[in-house]
Amino acid sequence: MARLVMKFGGSSVADIDRIRNVARHVKREVDAGHEVAVVVSAMAGATNQLVKFCRDISVLHDQAEYDAVVASGEQVTSGLLAIALQALGIPARSWQGWQIPLETSDQHGSARIEGIEGGPLVAGFKAGQVAVVAGFQGIHPASGRITTLGRGGSDTSAVALAAAIKADRCDIYTDVDGVYTTDPRVVPKARRLDKIAFEEMLEMASLGAKVMQVRSIELGMTHNVRIFVRSSFDKPEDIDPHRTPPGTLICDETEIMEHEVVTGIAFSRDEAQISIRSVEDKPGVAAAIFGPLSDANINVDMIVQNVSADGKTTDLTFTVTAADFERAKDTIEKARSAIGFARLDTAAEVSKVSVIGVGMRSHAGVAASAFRALAERGVNIRAITTSEIKFSLLIDAAFTELAVRTLHTLYGLDKA
């Protein structure tokens, strides 16, 4: 017998038939003797509609009331799934975030989890009850207000809950059957990975892979919660609950016997480049640039600095998301007198392609081979950043798919 957390996303609970299908998945695990807590998202499209309601009422709406509205989508799903399970003869009850309670900070719209009391759910397990938990939401204890964790927050709810109740694993059911070496829509030969290390998955999620929310991976790594990414559209009756689940296991790298040099290729088209030219090379210049951007809540990603031949001036290039591009340009222009730059060059049609793998720690020349391969295909590299287990390249957006396919083949990821 194991203790499981099963999380189902919006596409998995999009309508009544799919909720019934989810109930059959849960029944399979209960019939196998497992203790089960289920975390659900709102039905597909429901959160977007609730957000629209808030904006239609008032563009400058109160964030606490916004959370009260948008959290209701998960409340509906949790209640419906509990009813579906009861119809199958399984004792079940729904739980809202505040009832557990899942305690958070007071940053409405993107709250951070500060604690979970798992006792009530564990007590329910002893009585043979399935807990159906509304994901994405919690409560700020001091104010007593409902909070939400940001888009994709149900993943974070599920992993945090798994850590709190000491679950044997956390199964993330979604509309794909695991984590792939890259997006199969771009590279048809992309392969599903049997296992991937937390660090690699964290990089892939933060660099463009949409499978899981970044914060959920961070929690899994911190608390060593084994996470399976698997499909909710597999037939429940075709799966043996006593065997290793089909999908991809996200785990500590010590569980992976042999590491490939490269595990996957991630990419993001949601990028924009800003280059500040001929800035005086002196202490405090970087602070004058990035301080105002931070104050404007603009996240900066790749940063590259080039010092001129005379050592007196420098060029500084960085990237922001496409959504922040115009605000970032405006922020830098307003700080021109403090920064003292000669010219601002920008490019909106750029993409970031990243190569990820813990095997890079023990292999030399991994990046150099990529540079050669892309040069042979006529792909120009605008900027490069590296870390211990990945490197990222900024290129013109028109070459994104060519670059991804080239690198996927180069590192042998096409091969079964």
Biggest alpha carbon distance in the chain?
78
Does 416 fall in a domain? no
Is the same domain home to 162 and 106?
A: yes
Does 258 fall in a domain? no
What pLDDT sits at residue 54?
A: 94
Residues 286-307 have pLDDT tens digits of: 899 999 999 988 999 899 888 7
CATH of the domain at 379: 3.30.2130.10
Is the same domain home to 224 and 346?
A: no
Band (416; pLDDT cuts 50, 70, 90): low
Is the same domain home to 292 and 205?
A: no
What pLDDT sits at residue 309?
A: 66
Does 184 fall in a domain? yes
Is the same domain home to 78 and 153?
A: yes
Is the same domain home to 209 and 323?
A: no
Does 116 fall in a domain? yes
Does 328 fall in a domain? yes
Does 350 fall in a domain? yes
Residues 46-86 have pLDDT tens digits of: 999 999 999 999 988 999 999 999 999 999 999 999 999 99
Token look-up 């090379």 returns: 281
> CB of 133 within 8 A of CB of 124?
no
> CB of 339 within 8 A of CB of 285?
yes
Per the structure, the complete domain to which residue 103 belongs is given by 3-253
- Bridge partners of residue 230, in order along the sequence: 173
CA 316 to chain centre: 29
Does 97 fall in a domain? yes
Q: Residues within the annotated binding site? A: 7-10, 47, 74, 174-175, 180, 185, 210-211
> CB of 286 within 8 A of CB of 317?
no
Does 276 fall in a domain? yes
Is the same domain home to 281 and 405?
A: yes
Is the same domain home to 111 and 38?
A: yes
Q: What are phi and psi of 176, to 5 degrees?
A: -125, 160
Task: Return the structure tokens found at 382.
Answer: 């605008």
What pLDDT sits at residue 140?
A: 97
Is the same domain home to 172 and 55?
A: yes
Q: Residues within the annotated binding site for ATP? A: 7-10, 174-175, 180, 185, 210-211
Is the same domain home to 339 and 302?
A: yes
Q: Residues within the annotated binding site for substrate? A: 47, 74
Residues 379-397 have pLDDT tens digits of: 999 999 998 899 999 999 9
DSSP state string for 370-406: HHHHHHHTTPPEEEEEEETTEEEEEEEGGGHHHHHHH
Q: Which of 218, 253, 288 is where one domain is finished?
A: 253
Is the same domain home to 234 and 305?
A: no
Residue 181 has pLDDT above 70, yes or no: yes
Q: Which of 224, 253, 282 is where one domain is finished?
A: 253
Q: Which of 253, 272, 287 is where one domain is finished?
A: 253
Residues 236-280 have pLDDT tens digits of: 888 988 888 889 999 998 888 777 889 999 999 989 999 999 888
CATH of the domain at 14: 3.40.1160.10
Query: Per the structure, how many domains does the chain have?
Result: 2
Is the same domain home to 391 and 314?
A: yes
Higher pLDDT, 210 or 337: 337
Residue 362 has pLDDT above 90, yes or no: no
CA distance 103 to 115: 5
Residues 8-44 have pLDDT tens digits of: 999 999 999 999 999 999 999 999 999 999 999 999 9
Is the same domain home to 183 and 59?
A: yes
- Bridge partners of residue 393, in order along the sequence: 353, 384
